[in-house]
Amino acid sequence: MNSKLTTPPNNSHIRNFSIVAHIDHGKSTLADRLMEFTRTVSKRDLKEQMLDSMDIERERGITIKANTVRLEYKAKDQKSYILNLIDTPGHVDFSYEVSRSMKSVEGSLLVVDASQGVEAQTLANVYQALDADHEIVPVLNKIDLPAADSDRVRQQIEEVIGIDADGAIEISAKTGKGVMDVLEAIVHQLPPPEGDLNAPLKALLVDSWYNPFLGVVVLVRIFDGCLAKGDRIKMISSEATYQVDRIGVFKPEMEDTSQLNSGEIGYFTASIKRVSDTIVGDTITHQKQPCKEAIEGMKPSQPVVYCGLYPMEAGEFNALKDAIEKISLNDSSFTSETEASTALGFGFRCGFLGLLHLEVIRERLEREYSLDLIVTAPSVIYHVYLKKGGMVEIYNPVDLPDPTDIDRIEEPRIMATILSPDQFVGEILSLCHARRGIQHELSFVEKRAMIRFDLPLNEVVFDFHDRLKSVSRGYASFDYTILGYSADNLVKLQILVNSEPVDALAIMVHRTNCETRGRLMCEKLKELIPRHLFKIPIQAAIGGKVVARETIAALRKDVTAKCYGGDITRKKKLLEKQKAGKKKMRQFGRVDIPQQAFINALKVNTD
Amino acid sequence: MPDQQTIEPFGIYIHWPFCESLCPYCDFNTYCSNQIDHEQWCEAYLRQLDHSAKELTVSQCTSVYFGGGTPSLMESRTVGKILDRISLLWGFSGQPEITLEANPTTVEQGRFLCFRSEGVNRLSLGLQALKDSDLKALGRKHGVKEAIKAYETADRVFNNVSLDFMFGRQFQSAESWIGELQEIVELNPNHLSIYQLTIEPNTPFGKRHAANRLEGIPDEDTLADMYLATMEICERNGFKQYEVSNYSKPGHKGKHNLVYWEYHDFLGIGPGAHGRISIDNQYFRTNTILNPESWLDGIFKLGTGENQRELINQKERGSEYLLTSLRLNDGMSIDRFEQISGNKLDRNAISELVQDNWVGITDGQLQVTTNGRMVLNQIISKLLS
Ligand SMILES: Nc1nc2c(ncn2[C@@H]2O[C@H](COP(=O)(O)OP(=O)(O)OP(=O)(O)O)[C@@H](O)[C@H]2O)c(=O)[nH]1
Ligand code: SF4
Ligand SMILES: [Mg+2]
């Protein structure tokens, strides 16, 4: 993949590979089996999806961060091999984790759920693997399921992806059936790493994270040379130099070794203070004897979705600030900047890789830091070109300049790839058209449709995925890449509650959709805001023009029927509980708006 | 003897924790049992009274209320002995109100006279509905005809009867409730307690409701209409509302319940009974053991079935007074509130509420309007926050 190198004899027993698949097709479960069958972890210590160690990963049953583990395998040829496995996330938000993993290995196991077939992220991830020149071993998983149809899926792999699936291995990662064949295939079908042990050190910084005991831990792949404890190293892009403290491999726990050689994957620590001091994709070399050329860098991951995060209570601003700083330490794709809202006070405008990423961060803030948050409507970054010249990037609809000063507004568009059983194509096409999509491709392989649409990211960010799942009864899958910016007729839709605009509810919409969206939001808010002692008008407006309106009728009855001797304490507790419930609301003028309403207002059930 | 007017009311509540069968909406502390040792229970109540009298020496008793459960299942002798003992320990002030709750079944009706002769002077009958099918759905063991007969007997015997009814029943419309109300007022008792059926969480109704299997419960607007109609029809027929769910003919307000709402002391005796007592200018909330057997045990081993006593601090006392007195049409004395709580009422909150016609102030009494009463919980929250 880089220089002309030959395979040194000492590398022939190493295989480096990643496991890629669509979300939930069984990557992490296969990783469990590989650990079990190679006795890396004893059966007793093995947990399900063991490599998913974050609380949120375990709870949601998904992989968010790529994980590495070193397996030692005695193959049928009686030789011992070292297999470095990287388990990757399947969800599109975390595809960056996949792409950087690809650079550090030579092969991929492409796992396809034999009961589901090829899905959007199967495609997206396998293309990344092909781009990285990987050897690919197709694996058909979940053959224990009655719905598994290996022949059909094999054909799909050949026709949709275009790779040979004759030798695809049929396995059940759950029961372990076929897993030995996978191990043999890794040894015999994937190439050993190339590289020159005697050349100057050339290593790729694959990932880094903060460990409270060790400081920053760096995951590296050594291409040339060798990295040893005590070495003085230099990071080529950041130009920083460090001395290596610890060095080792994951089994899957960290295990110290004395050095890592060409072809190997492992970690080191070097008294690096912050994760932001390391650049993913950077080249690491020796300070004294540097390598001649750096490894081609990686594009840093860019947040695409922005929203406001506010503390439920103004007094918690500093706590939120600290928590956000701590999380950013370990997640460079999460960005934040302070902002102020008239409705919500001081908070942060935060950037995320997508909605799942947003959810995950929100959950971590709430759980790990016991914060109560208000999340505002997600937005993309708009490029607003001004009549007087120049362009401003708008992360929050509230900041939109006066419409009379605006020449045009450009929004990001994406290329969406949707795979679905053919019977849902009609519904999916109308969903995409309703979201201002431009159709690029519609093709069928067997009974499977591949649909490609150019869509505004804005229309996809919020509930597109949910809608897609619901119109396809859960069968369609979706992936996207960012295309770039283009102009459209966009306006800011404001929501007025009790005649006052609530900035945190403002969204950007296409002019032709403003009435529908306005109506749906008003209807939803009517459900979400509890009745008050007075009636509350809810309006959606573009500039000064009201485009939709609903009214929340006044509360008519709220009185406890019975209250005698013993009920008094109980009743008081009830009132206290109500009060506590009120705390989950934000007072806006005379109206209490529930915390959840700021985001749920956008969750409309129809298109 | 001190002047009637200045006697501080002091009530005694006696809880009888047994019923013939359990109604699915009821969350009172009550049990079904066919092995009740009446002698033992009688002795237990008397011992508890003795025990309580040791620390509560001052007040004269102004009212006794036998509630439950179904206290009309008590032996009348027990009732008599309890009243005698109270008289001995504290004495009764001039005209004490002695109420007993009863179910309007034929069996119980036969015993009204006995209760009367033991000293009970007011009967509270749980009619609940004037529709047989609804009575059945509520798990009640009586029918309408039987209930009316029981009422007529009670009226003859006591000449002071209160009837309990419930609205907001399954499949009930505002119109049918209005028709039923008309029949209710025509029965012409001295007192009416009319409650909205409340779905309590730990009851069979509560569980069905949570599982979406309690059908036909009227919506908020219908319930509001029913409540408004209740207040109007009672008023029009000479039943003056004096509390959220209580209406009376002139001179027939329930004295005992006023003890709760006007925030005076009361003793609570029997399994699960609550009390509120003051000793040396300290105020306590008392709780008793819930389980009947354990309560008996407590009494016979330790002399008391009380199991917990909490000090009520000044601020709490203020909010409790506000919470209960605003339920009354007479309202809350602003002076008394400020004296009890040691705090000023939030004048701004009050003037806002006055402006919006939720409350009014007459002779130093803060009173909710009819509008305000409909949303009393909201008003109370505003005043307490
Ligand atoms: N029946 C059956 N279920 C399986 C098999 N392999 C995995 N699963 C189940 O499929 C679900 C997803 O498995 P994971 O291993 O978490 O999938 P993943 O590909 O790592 O998912 P992400 O990391 O979120 O993309 C889990 O509930 C597994 O128990 C299999 O061979 N048979
Ligand atoms: S009779 Fe009265 S106390 Fe007994 S269960 Fe029925 S409602 Fe409850
Ligand atoms: Mg996984």
pLDDT in tens, B83-98: 999 999 999 998 999 9
Q: How far is the CA of B23 from the centre of ligand 2 (A)?
A: 5
| Residue A296: predicted pLDDT | 85
- With a cut of 90, say whether residue A475 has pLDDT above it: no
DSSP state of B202: T
Q: What is the dihedral of CA A204, A209, A215, A220, to 10 degrees?
A: -20
Q: Give the ranges where A168-312 is alpha helix by DSSP (H).
A: 179-189
Q: Which amino acid is at A334?
A: F
Q: Cβ(A267)–Cβ(A219) under 8 Å?
A: yes
Tell me if A571 and B323 make a contact (CB, 8 A cut-off): yes
pLDDT of residue A600: 86
Tokens of B125: 């009958």
For residue B136, CA distances in Å to A317, A507, B169 come to 57, 54, 12
Asked if the C-beta of A565 comes within 8 angstroms of chain B's C-beta atoms, the answer is yes
Nearest by CB to A579, from B227, B272, B385: name it.
Answer: B385
Q: Looking up tokens 């029943």, which residue turns up?
A: B169
Residue B178 has phi, psi (to 5 degrees) of -60, -40
Structural domain boundaries in chain B = 4-260, 314-384
Centre of ligand 1 to C-alpha A24, Å, is 5
A566 three-class SS: coil
CB pairs under 8 A between A and B: 86
ipTM of the complex in this document: 0.92
DSSP state letter for A147: T
Query: What is the percentage of chain B residues whose pLDDT exceeds 70?
Result: 98
pLDDT of B17 reads: 97
How far apart, in whole angstroms, are the C-alpha atoms of residue B10 and residue B265? Answer: 5
Nearest CA, atom 8, ligand 2: B26
Q: What is the pLDDT of residues A536-546, one digit of tens each?
A: 999 999 988 99
User: Which pLDDT tens digit goes with each residue over A85-115?
Assistant: 999 998 888 888 888 889 999 999 999 999 9
User: CA A556 to CA A535: how far, in whole Å?
Assistant: 10
Query: What residue spans of A352-419 are helical by DSSP H?
Result: 355-368
Of A158, A156, A154, whose CA–CA distance to A143 is shortest?
A154
Residues 6+ apart with CB under 8 A from A274: A210, A216, A329
Q: Do A556 and B319 touch (CB under 8 A)?
A: no
Q: What distance in Å separates the CA atoms of residue B138 and residue A71, rounded to the nearest whole number?
A: 68
Which tens digits make up the pLDDT trace of B210-231?
999 999 999 999 999 999 999 9
Residue A40 pLDDT > 60:
yes
Distance CA B208, CA B214 (A): 5
pLDDT in tens, B335-381: 999 999 998 998 999 999 999 999 999 999 999 999 999 999 999 98
DSSP B62: E
> Residue A588 — very low, low, confident or very high, per pLDDT cuts 50/70/90?
confident
A206 to chain B nearest CA, in Å?
52
Q: Check if A23 has its Cβ closer than 6 Å to any atom of ligand 1.
A: yes
Contact A388, A92 (CB under 8 A): no
Question: How is residue A100 written in tokens?
Answer: 């950087």
Q: Which atom of ligand 2 is nearest to the CA of B140?
A: 6
Do the domains B314-384 and B4-260 match in fold?
Answer: no
Strands B10-16, A591-594: parallel, antiparallel or unpaired by DSSP?
Answer: unpaired
E-strand ranges in A504-577 read 507-510, 536-542, 545-552
pLDDT higher for A128 or B183? B183
Q: Tell me, what's the pLDDT at B3?
A: 43
Contact A201, A224 (CB under 8 A): yes
pLDDT band at residue A5, thresholds of 50, 70 and 90? very low
Distance from Cα B143 to the centre of ligand 2, integer Å: 15
Domain B314-384 fold is Arc Repressor Mutant, subunit A (1.10.10)
Q: Tell me, what's the pLDDT at B183?
A: 97
User: Where does the pLDDT of residue A3 fall: very low under 50, low under 70, confident under 90, or very high at 90 and above?
Assistant: very low
The reply to whether the predicted model has a pTM over 0.90 is: no
Q: How far is the CA of A28 from the centre of ligand 3 (A)?
A: 4
Report how far apart the first and last C-alpha atoms of chain A are (Å, whole number): 47
pLDDT at residue A2, rounded to an integer: 43
Q: Do residues A421 and A475 lie in contact, with contact meaning Cβ atoms separated by under 8 Å?
A: yes
Q: Residue A65's pLDDT is what?
A: 82
Q: How high is the pLDDT of residue A45?
A: 85
Residue of chain A whose alpha carbon sits nearest to that of B166: A561
Strand order from edge to edge, sheet including B359-362: B332-333, B365-368, B359-362
pLDDT at residue A7 greater than cutoff 70? no
* pLDDT reported for residue B1: 40
Query: Once rounded to an integer, what is the mean pLDDT over residues A292-313?
Result: 86
Contacts of A3 (CB under 8 A, 6+ apart): none
- Confidence category of residue A393, pLDDT binned at 50, 70, 90: very high
Question: Which atom of ligand 2 has the smallest separation from the CA of B22?
Answer: 5
CA of A501, closest CA in chain B: separation in Å? 24
Q: How far is B280 from B55, CA to CA, in rounded Å?
A: 10
Residue that wins the pLDDT comparison between A65 and A243: A243
How many other CB atoms are found less than 10 A from the CB of residue B335? 10
Q: What is the b/e burial string over A154-189, where b = at least 16 CB atoms within 10 angstroms of the residue's CB?
A: bbbbbbbbeeebeebbbbbbbeeebbbebbebbbeb
Say how many Å lie between the CA of residue B125 and the centre of ligand 2: 11
The answer to whether the Cβ–Cβ distance between B377 and A558 falls below 8 Å is: yes
Pocket mutation for ligand 1, best pick of A19, A20, A22, A24 (most atoms within 8 Å of C-beta): A24
B273–A559 CB contact, under 8 Å: no
Question: Is residue A242 predicted with pLDDT exceeding 70?
Answer: yes
Phi/psi zone of residue A502: left (φ > 0), alpha (ψ -120 to 50 degrees), beta? beta
Ligand 2 pocket check: which of B26, B31, B135 to mutate, most ligand atoms within 8 Å of Cβ? B26
- Per CB-CB distance under 8 Å, the chain B contacts of A558 are 374-378
Model pLDDT, residue A251: 92
Choosing from B21, B30, B100, B107 the residue with most ligand 2 atoms within 8 A of its CB, the one to mutate for a pocket test is B30
pLDDT of residue A4: 42
Q: Which residues of A touch B327 (CB under 8 A)?
A: 563
Q: How far is B375 from chain A (nearest CA, A)?
A: 4
Reported as a single tens digit per residue, the pLDDT across B27-49 is 999 999 888 999 999 999 999 99
Spatial separation of the C-alpha atoms in residues A499 and A244, rounded to whole Å: 62
Structure tokens at A331: 């997640």
Q: What is the CATH number of domain B4-260?
A: 3.20.20.70
| Residue B302 neighbours by CB under 8 Å, 6+ apart | none
